[in-house]
Structure 1
C-alpha cells in the first residue's frame, strides 16, 4: 500500500537497442512511421522448421557505445543491455562516476537472460569436459550475470536485481523500481529489460505451438487482434529507463519524460478458465490505476500486451472492455508488438519506453498489420499515428498462464 508521504518517481532517461534502431530518436521515428522490425531470422538456421521470421537486432556493435575495453568475455545480451544503459545515462545527462553509483541501483527483467549461453556452456562441459574450459568461459552465463556485470561496469551500489517473471519480467522490474524510489532505498534506479532471440527460445515456443505459422499453413504475421492471428513472432532487444526520485530530478533540472505513477501485478495459473482470467487481467488494470491515483477516463493511450496470439489477444480485449467500456468510450489502443515482435521479458520495458516518448511528444504510435478485427476483439485500436495530448498512459504486460502486470505513466508535473 502506497503511503501518503511516499516519494514520487519520474523517467529522466531512455536507452534503446532494438530491431527498430538504436537510441530513442531512431526508435521513435520507426514506431511513429509504422515500420516493422520483422524479417527473416539470420542468427540461426530455420530451414528445418516452419517459422522463418523474427525481429532481430541487426548491425549492432557494442564498441560503438561502450568502447572496446572489457567486451571480450561479455555475451551479446550483456553487450546490448550495457549499451542501452549507456544511452539512457547519456540521455538523462548523468555522468558515470563513483558519486552516481552511490545512490543509483539497477533492476533488470528478463525471462531467458543468458539462457542460450548457459546451454552452450553446459554442452561444452558435457562434450569436452570441465578441464578443457577456460575460467572466463563461465563469466557471463548465469541468469543474473547480465545485471551483476552492468552494476559493476557502471559502479552501481544500492541494489542490483534480476526479475524473471516470464512475459511480465521488465514491467515488474519497472514496478519494483518505483517501490524502491517510494521507500527511499535509492534516489535513482536503472530499470528495464533484455531478451535475445536464440534457437533455444525459438524451440521453446515452437514446441508449445505459440509461434505464428507453426502449423506450416497459417500466415506468419504479427497482427494483434486481427482475425488472421495465429501466434506471435519472436523479438529481442534491450530497453532501459532511468527512474529517478522527483526531487532529485528537479534539483538537477533534469528533463522528465513522464511520471511513473502506478503499478500492479497479478498471477494467472495454468488452466484458469477464460472468465476468471479476464477478471484477473481487469483487476490488474484497476489496481494500477488506483495505485497511480488515476481514473480510467484519464487514460489517453493504452499500450496493449497483444502479441497476435489467439488466447491472449482475446482475453486482453475482454479485460479492456470490462474496465473502459465499449470501444467508443475507450482510449486509443496501440499494439506495438506488431512492429517489434514479442520480446518476451523485455516487452513491458519496450512499451514503457514508447509510452514515455509518446507522452512527452504528444504523438501516439500505430498498430500495423491488423486489418479486420476479430469479432471477439472489438476495441478502439489505433491503426495510424495520431497527435494529441496524453495526460496518462496505461501499459499492459500480460500472460494468460503466469504473471500479468500493468503500469501507469502520467505527464510529469
Structure 2
C-alpha cells in the first residue's frame, strides 16, 4: 500500500523575501521583485534587469568560514533548508537517519565560483585557484551539504533538469516516501545564476527580456511578453510520511498526491509545438493523484514570459482540461519573482501549498495586454480568495524536461 506524503516544513529565499511568512505575504500583495542588476556592471549588456535576492548575508545564518566554502547557490539551499526544518519542528535526533533523505537540485550549480576562479586562473595563474573550487562548483554539493548538516543518510542526489529541476526533486522525493523507502525528505531547488557569463549566455539565446521597465519585463501570458527575467533563490520543502508526521504532532500544510515527468524529445531549447510532453506530464500527474482534471482548482503555470513557452503551455492546458480550461484559475508567480531556473518548480510548489492552506489564488501581476491567442483565466493583477481542493504546478526545462506536481488541501483526520 502506498504511503501518504505530506508537507510539514517550507523555507524560501527569493527576490520578494526570505522566510515563508514574508514570501507569502509579498505574493499576496503582488510584490514585484524585478529591479536593475546590482551584482555586476551591466553597461555593455542589453539585459539590465533581474530578480536578485537583496541584502542576503550568509553570515547571518552560518559561520563565516562555512559561508566562504560555499557558492551562493549552496548558501541559498542551506539557508532555505534550515528555515524549512525549523518550520517543520523536526527533532533531528529522533529521526531515523537511515530513512532520512535529501534531494536538492540546481540547474546551473556553482557558476559564481566558476567565473571567479576562472578569472583568477587567467590573471594570477593556476596555483592561485582555490582548494575548494571543485566542491563549490558542483551542482550536487548543495544536496550533500544539507545531508551533512542534518545527518540524513538515506538517498541523496541532485536533480539537474534545467527549469524542471525543483519540481523533479520534489516528485522523486515524493516517490521515495510513497514507496516506503524513507520517512522524511528534504527537497527542492536552489539557483544563483545572475552572473556576467550566465546573463550573456542567456542573452545570446535571445530568451531574456531587454526592457528596462521592471513592470513590463516578466509579464507571463501578456501579448507584449518578450522574454523571461532571471531570478535567484531557493525553495525547500520537508516531506514526510503521513503517519510519521501525525505521530510527532507535526503541522501539516498540504499533501503531495501526484507527479508526472516526461520529455519532449524534440529540441535543445524550444518546447514541442504540439505540446505533447507538457500535456502528458499533466495528464500523468492528475492520473497519479487519482482525480479528474475538473478537480484541479488552481494551476501555477510554468509561465516564463517567453513567446513560445506561454503559447505552448496554454495549448497543453487546453488539451488536458478541454472546456474547463477557460474556468480554472491559472497564474504565473514568475511575474513577481522572475524565473528562478532550477529553484522555480520548488518555490512554485510552495506557492501551491500556501494557496491551498490559505484559500488564496495568487495573481499574475503586471498583466496589461491580453493575448487573444491564449484566452484563459490568468488571474490578472488581483488574487482571488477561494477555497480549493487541488493545485497543479508545472515546470518545464531546456532539453525537453517536463515535470508536474499535484498538491492536495489537507483536511485533518481525512
Superposition TM-score, scaled by structure 2 size: 0.93
Cα deviations by residue, 1:252-290 (Å, 9 ceiling, x for unpaired): 111111101111111123449977631221111111100
1:345 — aligned with what? 342
2:234 — aligned with what? 238
CA distance in 2: counterparts of 1:363 and 1:91, whole angstroms: 21
1:405 — aligned with what? 403
Q: Cα distance, 1:121 vs. partner? A: 2.5
2:125 corresponds to 1:145: no
For structure 2, list consecutive stretches of 5 or more residues without a partner in the other structure.
Answer: none
Q: Cα distance, 1:65 vs. partner? A: 2.9
2:284 corresponds to 1:291: no
> Which segment is superposed worse, 372-381 or 91-100?
91-100
Is residue 264–residue 276 contact of structure 2 (8 Å, CA) maintained in 1? no
1:32 — aligned with what? 28
> Which segment is superposed worse, 123-132 or 269-278?
269-278
2:174 corresponds to 1:175: no
1:391 — aligned with what? 389
CA distance in 2: counterparts of 1:60 and 1:340, whole angstroms: 16
Cα deviations by residue, 1:265-318 (Å, 9 ceiling, x for unpaired): 111234499776312211111111001112111100100001110000000111
Q: Cα distance, 1:201 vs. partner? A: 2.0
Is residue 112–residue 201 contact of structure 1 (8 Å, CA) maintained in 2? no
> Which segment is superposed worse, 60-69 or 336-345?
60-69
CA distance in 2: counterparts of 1:249 and 1:311, whole angstroms: 42
CA distance in 1: counterparts of 2:76 and 2:185, whole angstroms: 18
Q: Cα distance, 1:247 vs. partner? A: 0.9
Q: How does 1:150-169 map to 2 (within 5 A)?
A: 150-169=146-165
2:354 corresponds to 1:377: no
Cα deviations by residue, 1:312-362 (Å, 9 ceiling, x for unpaired): 000011111111124674310011100010111111001101110111111
Q: Cα distance, 1:109 vs. partner? A: 1.8
Is residue 212–residue 219 contact of structure 1 (8 Å, CA) maintained in 2? no
Is residue 47–residue 199 contact of structure 2 (8 Å, CA) maintained in 1? no
Is residue 107–residue 162 contact of structure 2 (8 Å, CA) maintained in 1? yes
- State the superposition RMSD in angstroms: 2.2
2:207 — aligned with what? 210
2:114 corresponds to 1:118: yes
2:84 — aligned with what? 88
The 4+ residue runs of structure 1 with deviation greater than 6 A are 216-219, 272-275
> Which segment is superposed worse, 71-80 or 188-197?
71-80
CA distance in 2: counterparts of 1:153 and 1:202, whole angstroms: 32
CA distance in 1: counterparts of 2:92 and 2:197, whole angstroms: 35
Q: Cα distance, 1:12 vs. partner? A: 0.5
CA distance in 2: counterparts of 1:263 and 1:99, whole angstroms: 26
Q: Secondary structure at the match of 2:182?
A: coil
CA distance in 2: counterparts of 1:50 and 1:35, whole angstroms: 25
Query: Are residues 45 and 337 of structure 1, via their aligned partners in 2, closer, same or farther at CA, if it must alter by over 3 Å?
Result: same
Query: Are residues 156 and 40 of structure 1, via their aligned partners in 2, closer, same or farther at CA, if it must alter by over 3 Å?
Result: same
2:361 corresponds to 1:359: no
Q: Secondary structure at the match of 2:74?
A: helix
Superposition TM-score, scaled by structure 1 size: 0.93
1:311 — aligned with what? 308
CA distance in 2: counterparts of 1:86 and 1:102, whole angstroms: 20
Is residue 218–residue 230 contact of structure 1 (8 Å, CA) maintained in 2? no
Cα deviations by residue, 1:186-242 (Å, 9 ceiling, x for unpaired): 11111101011222221221010000127x999961111111001011101110000
Is residue 36–residue 48 contact of structure 2 (8 Å, CA) maintained in 1? yes
1:195 alignment partner, one of 166, 191, 194:
191
1:66 alignment partner, one of 58, 62, 65:
62
Is residue 270–residue 402 contact of structure 1 (8 Å, CA) maintained in 2? yes
Is residue 352–residue 391 contact of structure 2 (8 Å, CA) maintained in 1? yes
